Amino acid sequence: MTIHLPFWIPIHTVLATNQKTIKSVFFILYLLGFLGIGFGFFLFNSNLELYVTLAELATKFGTISLYLFLLTLVPGILQRLNVVVLLSTSVVLFRRQIGIVMYILALLHSFYLSIIPQVMTSDLRLQNFATREIYGLIAILILFPVWITSNDVSQKKFGRFWKSIQRLTYIAMFFIYLHVAAIEKSAQLLTAIVILLEIISWIKIWLRRPTRTNLTS
């Protein structure tokens, strides 16, 4: 099935022809993200008022991170469901970069909301994390190998195993759901819909798999 979104064609053309520039912008975002985390440690002691303002922003970063995460799953779902949408092709152009930014935003989010205050008060303990934060932490830990291997060098080095590493995303997806389920209703609903579509698309692939009898007959 092909879904035409005519307004997207010029946007896709711009994205496709400016890939290098857009990837450089992503790279700047990575750097800003890491600087932001470092800055948080400094700010906690030097300007708590500004820190609190940024921590409020960090809540929003969690939401953006979640939506970017779901966005990276969409092309795979549509492909398995045989739905062709140009928008999905646009996402594929930058899927790796979107995934990396998603992870850095999740780090910023968790550092500002939980980790920096605990480290700076010398009280970083597992017991200090609420259950929903533990789910978030598990998601972050599972996504770490996915994030660190999201590059051409790792893809070449790990060969077929690389896909298995990337598939850890599906396990992280459930912990992200548990994390947001306890916090935000609309995010919870959207995440549940994407997870459901993900499962349906995999069931479809599984059902279409040639069976042994089909192969031998």
* Contact pick of 26, 37, 184, 202 for ligand HEM (by CB under 6 A): 184
Q: How far is the CB of 45 from ligand HEM (least distance, A)?
A: 20
Q: Is 188 in the site for ligand HEM (CB under 6 A)?
A: no
Cα(172)–Cα(30) distance, rounded to whole angstroms? 21
Q: Is 36 in the site for ligand HEM (CB under 6 A)?
A: no
Helix (H, G, I), strand (E, B), or coil: what is residue 2?
Answer: strand
Among 212, 165, 207, 169, residue whose Cα is nearest residue 80: 207
Q: Is 187 in the site for ligand HEM (CB under 6 A)?
A: yes
Distances (CA, A) of 193 to 70, 79, 93, 181, 203: 10, 17, 24, 13, 15
Residues numbered 115 to 134 that lie near ligand HEM (CB under 6 A) are 129, 133
Q: How far is the CB of 164 from ligand HEM (least distance, A)?
A: 20
Rg of the chain's alpha carbons, rounded to an integer? 20
Cα(55)–Cα(63) distance, rounded to whole angstroms? 13
Quick one: 30 exposed, middle or buried, by C-beta within 10 A (0-12, 13-18, 19+)?
middle
* Contact pick of 72, 90, 110, 201 for ligand HEM (by CB under 6 A): 110
Q: Is 104 in the site for ligand HEM (CB under 6 A)?
A: no
Q: How far is the CB of 14 from ligand HEM (least distance, A)?
A: 28
Q: How far is the CB of 88 from ligand HEM (least distance, A)?
A: 21
One-letter amino acid identity for 58? Answer: A
Q: Which residues bind ligand HEM (CB under 6 A)?
A: 59, 62-63, 65-66, 69, 106, 109-110, 113-114, 129, 133, 136-137, 139-140, 176, 179-180, 183-184, 187
